[in-house]
Structure 1
Amino acid sequence: MIQIQTHSVRPGQTLAKPVLGKNGAVILATGTKLTERYIGRLKELGISAVCVHEEAASSLAAPARDTAPSFQDIHDGASLQASRAAVADTVADFIGGDAILKRLSVPLLGQRFLRIYGHMLDYVSRQPVIMEQLALLHDKDPFLFQHAMNVSAYSAIVGFANGYSESQLYELTVAALLFDIGMASVPQSLYAKSGSLTPIEKERIEAHSIEGYQRLSELEGIPYTAALCALQHHERYNGSGYPFGIKQEEIHPYAQIIGIADIYDALVSPRHHRKAYTPGEAIEYLFGSGDTLFNLSFVKLFVGHVSIYPVGSRVRLNNGQTAIIASVDPSFVQRPIVKVIQEPDGSLVLYPYELDLKDSLEVVISDIVQ
């Protein structure tokens, strides 16, 4: 084993020791065969030296680690001040709000979860360094901030269902709030582009995971796991993600949970280039991605505890009927029992009747009626 400069590493060499980030978290494990992609990412992260097997080494020099590139904040002062106020208001609304309770499909867990999650958000609201990062997200795009709030709620629910301690839930919550902070540095013209991306543009956007890691790992008062989740939230269970293409248990569990919540909320939200998927379609996608893109056990926890159709919400069926969600089976959340209140011709149902979508496979929920 020998330590060599990262810029002297050649593709094909194998790590003799793991590459560690701050606080000792593993970024690349021992035995990883280095590729051009890995070497480039290590350079971007400011990793100046690695340990490889001696027979493959070509240099003995190993200078101290370089300082990570600085994060460029390009935000107007007045606009950012308005974002700070909006963030404070939204976080306050989330604390103890009914919107969080409606996201739970297991009502018995609701009040305890709501108390713990509300307590954590209250603590977050008093941490200037975290609130400032959320203001940067809001200033970039209010939707980006709202997405972070949603991902935080979904992730906390999964962590709660997985039996995490309150300290673990706090770390997961903060990580989920800040996982996309790197997007704040993406040029606005590229961030808002609705057409197809060039390979260079795609690479620039994907760099947000590394930029987020660099920023969060440099800030006092931010759990290191938040930086790690910023780096890994686009990694996938089968190794098809980025920036390193790591897989399975190499991905931090928090990052795996956040990745699921991120995809779900992105699918059910409208985008520049498409309309929103229905929650049922998004759940079908998650199930189909179990143990390929995502850890199936985490997918099951998500599906079993996140309410995609809160009881009492109004929906439209693909046959034209309008109905109200009557009850939800946690093991089959995309096919609840609904109470039909309006027929396709617009006529109101005098005596609303129930329809179990598990037994009527030809009928699906096509839209949520606001």
Structure 2
Amino acid sequence: MRKINISNCQAGMTLGKAVYYDGSSMLIDEGTVLTPSHLAQIASLGITELYIQDSFSKDIIVKDVIRDITRLEAIHFMKQTMEKYSLEGMPSSGNIISIVDKILNDILKSEEIIVNLMDIKTFDGYTFSHSVNVCILSLIIGIKLKLGQSELRELGVGALLHDIGKVLIPTDILNKKSSLSNDEFEVIKRHSRLGYDILKNIQGISEKSALVALNHHERCDGKGYPMALQKQEIHLYSKIVAVTDIFDALTSDRIYRKKIDTFNAINYLESINNLLLDSQILDCFVNVIPPYPIGTEVTMSSGEKGIVIGLNKSHIPIVRLNVNSDGTSKYPYEEINLESCNNYFIVSSS
């Protein structure tokens, strides 16, 4: 299985991973042979990438960091929570904790935690998928930092619901395609306090979890919001979610901008390290995020193209090449371990 850009998808290709139109409702099942109608549906949802299975990638196993059933249940939970909040109020803390525990248990059962988030986001389902990804990534950091079970649960609850205050922000501002005015940005910034007010009133949710909603936009230099806290004043959970929130936002397509790839997202985070983010947390995060995940299509410095089929312990890719530098097909395929290639490297991914 491999991930390809929607612009390279053609009728007749076989879908390698199911597509969900709002993050939880199936649109096209895995194994479906794509038709022009399918491709039109997918494009209309703002989906820019698909997983396909073909002879070139049939032996490549791309594993999500949690089970599909867990991810779908968590996304559906967030969808129900955020869409029904104004009518029925928040779910019980027991339901929230149950979802976090399922995510945590899946992660803990993994033999080795190397992150590959396989969700295919749509514009409409971004908020729900984003909340789940931030929870997953935050728990992985928490595990690497050797937090205890109760601390991981608190962190997971805060991470999953870090953006809950957005249910009280006008959707026309949240979904605006053009740049926000100063006044509109001030409205957006209210979501952190609104989220804190929501969470602190749910019996069974700790103050530390609620503080994640309040402080995940604080920055170590004291120039974040809403309280302009400095590094030592920001709780650990909020500093963790600050990293994962930025990363998942950068690597997701939004209505107003295209996503960037994992390699460039990591470079961006490292460029603001020490100034805006906690360096210990970022170092921990980078150690579990491969710049080029398995299944990623890449272009080499030679102009050849291929797919990442494996990673060594330092996340250095093994690449299977299938396109020559002149654009012709390469067969038989050639496999290159980049760890042993000093002057041969990846220049871009898609």
- Closer/same/farther in 2, CA of residues 265 and 330 from structure 1, 3 Å limit: farther
Counterpart of 1:323 in structure 2 is 306
Cα offset, 1:216, TM superposition: 0.5
Q: Secondary structure at the match of 2:349?
A: strand
Residue 246 in structure 1 maps to residue 229 in structure 2: yes
Q: 2-side partners of 1:307 and 1:166: how far apart?
A: 26
- Cα distance in structure 2, aligned partners of 1:254 and 1:358: 39
The 1:354–1:362 alpha-carbon spacing in structure 2 relative to 1, beyond 3 Å, is closer
Aligned to 1:129: 92
Please say if residues 161 and 305 of structure 1, whose CA atoms lie closer than 8 Å, have aligned partners that are also in contact: no
Deviates most, 358-367 or 147-156: 358-367
Question: Where in structure 2 are the equivalents of 1:161-180 lying within 5 Å?
Answer: 161-180=144-163
User: In structure 1, which of residues 70, 92, 99 is the aligned counterpart of residue 64 of structure 2?
Assistant: 99
The equivalent residue for 2:321 is: 340
Does the aligned pair in 1 maintain the 2:298–2:308 contact within 8 Å? no
The 5 A counterparts of 1:133-152 are 141-152=124-135
Q: CA deviation at 1:267?
A: 0.5
**SS in structure 1 opposite 2:147?**
coil
Alignment pair present for 1:285 and 2:262:
no
Q: CA separation in 1, counterparts of 2:305 and 2:341? A: 18
State the shift of 1:183 in Å.
Answer: 1.1
| Larger deviation, residues 159-168 vs 299-308 | 299-308
Match of 2:201 in 1: 218
Helix, strand or coil for the counterpart of 2:92?
helix
Q: Deviations for 1:47-91, whole angstroms, at most 9, x for unmatched residues?
A: xxxxxxxxxxxxxxxxxxxxxxxxxxxxxxxxxxxx9986xxxxx
- Rounded Cα–Cα distance in structure 2 between residues aligned with 1:227 and 1:358: 48
In structure 1, C-alpha distance between the alignment counterparts of 2:183 and 2:236, rounded to whole Å: 30
CA distance in 1, matches of 2:165, 2:212: 11
Which one-letter code corresponds to 1:339 in the other structure?
A: R
Cα RMSD of the aligned pairs, angstroms, is 3.5
Q: Specify the alignment match of 1:350 in structure 2.
A: 332
Q: Who is 1:305 aligned against? A: 288
Structure with the bigger percentage of helix: 1
Structure 2: distance between partners of 1:201 and 1:252: 28
Distance 2:296 2:23 in 1: 34
> For 1:170-206, what per-residue CA distance to the aligned partner results, in whole angstroms no more than 9, with x for missing partners?
1111111000101111101111111111111110001
Give the distance between the partners of 1:147 and 1:339, measured in 2 at CA: 31
- Residues 364, 98 of structure 1: alpha-carbon distance in 2 compared, 3 angstrom cutoff: closer
Please say if residues 179 and 212 of structure 1, whose CA atoms lie closer than 8 Å, have aligned partners that are also in contact: yes
Greater shift in the superposed pair: 197-206 or 355-364: 355-364
- Structure 1: where are the runs of 5+ without partners? 1-82, 87-96, 103-116
Within a 5 Å distance, the mapping from 1:256-275 to structure 2 comes to 256-275=239-258
CA distance in 2, matches of 1:148, 1:154: 10
Indicate the residue corresponding to 1:185 in structure 2: 168
How many angstroms apart in 1 are the aligned matches of 2:216 and 2:257?
23
Structure 1 pair 316–197 and aligned structure 2 pair: CA distance change class (3 A): same
Kept after mapping to 2: 8 A contact 1:323/1:341: yes
Task: Flag the 1:204–1:362 CA change in 2: closer, same or farther, 3 A.
Answer: farther
Counterpart selection for 1:228 from 190, 211, 215: 211
In 2, the alpha carbon distance for the partners of 1:281 and 1:144 equals: 22
Q: What TM-score results when the alignment is normalised by the length of structure 1?
A: 0.60
Partners of 1:287 and 1:365 lie apart in 2 by 19
Q: How far apart, CA to CA, are the structure 1 residues paired with 2:230 and 2:312?
A: 32
SS of equivalent residue, structure 2 residue 275: coil
- Relative distance call for 1:325 and 1:85 in structure 2 (3 A) is closer
Distance 1:84 1:101 in 2: 15
Identical-pair percentage: 31
Q: Return the letter of the residue paired with 2:65.
A: I
Question: Contact between 2:321 and 2:330, CA under 8 Å: does it hold in 1?
Answer: no
* Residue type at the aligned position of 2:221: N
Cα gap change, 1:196 to 1:361, in 2 (>3 Å): farther
SS of alignment partner, residue 193 of structure 2: helix
Q: Which amino acid aligns with 1:224?
A: E
Determine which structure has greater relative contact order: mean sequence separation of CA pairs < 8 Å that are 6+ residues apart, divided by chain length.
2
Report the Cα distance in structure 1 between the residues aligned to 2:329 and 2:92, rounded to whole angstroms: 54
CA shift at 1:324, angstroms? 2.6
Q: TM-score, normalised by structure 2?
A: 0.63
Taking structure 1 as reference, are residues 318 and 227 closer, same or farther at Cα in structure 2, changes over 3 Å only? same
Structure 2 equivalent of residue 198 of structure 1: 181
Alignment length (residue pairs): 252
